[in-house]
Amino acid sequence: MVNLVDELAGRVYQTLNYFLQEYYNSYDPKSYKRQYDFLRSAVKVEPKKVGNKIAASVYIDTDYMDNYYNATGMQVATWANQGLHGGTVEGNNTPHVWDDIMKETVENGELLKQAVQHLEANGISVKKW
């Protein structure tokens, strides 16, 4: 199960990094030099046993982004999820970072499909409805 959870968290982490890059690609600032803190803010925590479960986390480390002018890391991440740069500027095809990650991993059934494939590849039968 640790391998399965690690594989699923890896898929979410990969998707998060993809959308962070797409967010950066969607806007070319003219009035400031980027520091790329948001681009490097993705974190994947290795799976561990918690009670009788295996858990892993993937998230945007808003504390890592502590050097923005007049904005917190949480605000920057919130704007990114609204498709905004700096709270007001819309980029060209700017993704809604976290919402798009959820659509591409959870809501479309991708993680469930990957979990079933992993289980079946390891000899565990899965009843499908």
Q: How confident is the model at residue 108 (pLDDT cuts 50, 70, 90)?
A: very high
Spell out the alpha helix ranges (H) of 36-121. Answer: 73-81, 97-102, 110-121
What is the pLDDT, as a whole number, of residue 101? 95
Check residues 127 and 96 and name the one with the higher pLDDT.
96
Q: Are residues 73 and 65 in contact, defined by beta-carbon separation less than 8 angstroms? A: yes
What is the pLDDT, as a whole number, of residue 93? 87
Tell me how far apart the alpha carbons of residues 95 and 111 are, in angstroms, rounded to a whole number.
20
Residue 32 pLDDT greater than 80, yes or no: no
Percentage of the residues of the chain whose pLDDT score is greater than 90: 75
Tell me how far apart the alpha carbons of residues 55 and 49 are, in angstroms, rounded to a whole number.
6
What is the pLDDT, as a whole number, of residue 67? 81
> Which among 50, 76, 81, 57 is positioned nearest to 65, based on CA atoms?
76
Tell me how far apart the alpha carbons of residues 64 and 89 are, in angstroms, rounded to a whole number.
23
What is the pLDDT, as a whole number, of residue 87? 85
What is the pLDDT, as a whole number, of residue 3? 93
Residue 70 pLDDT greater than 80, yes or no: yes
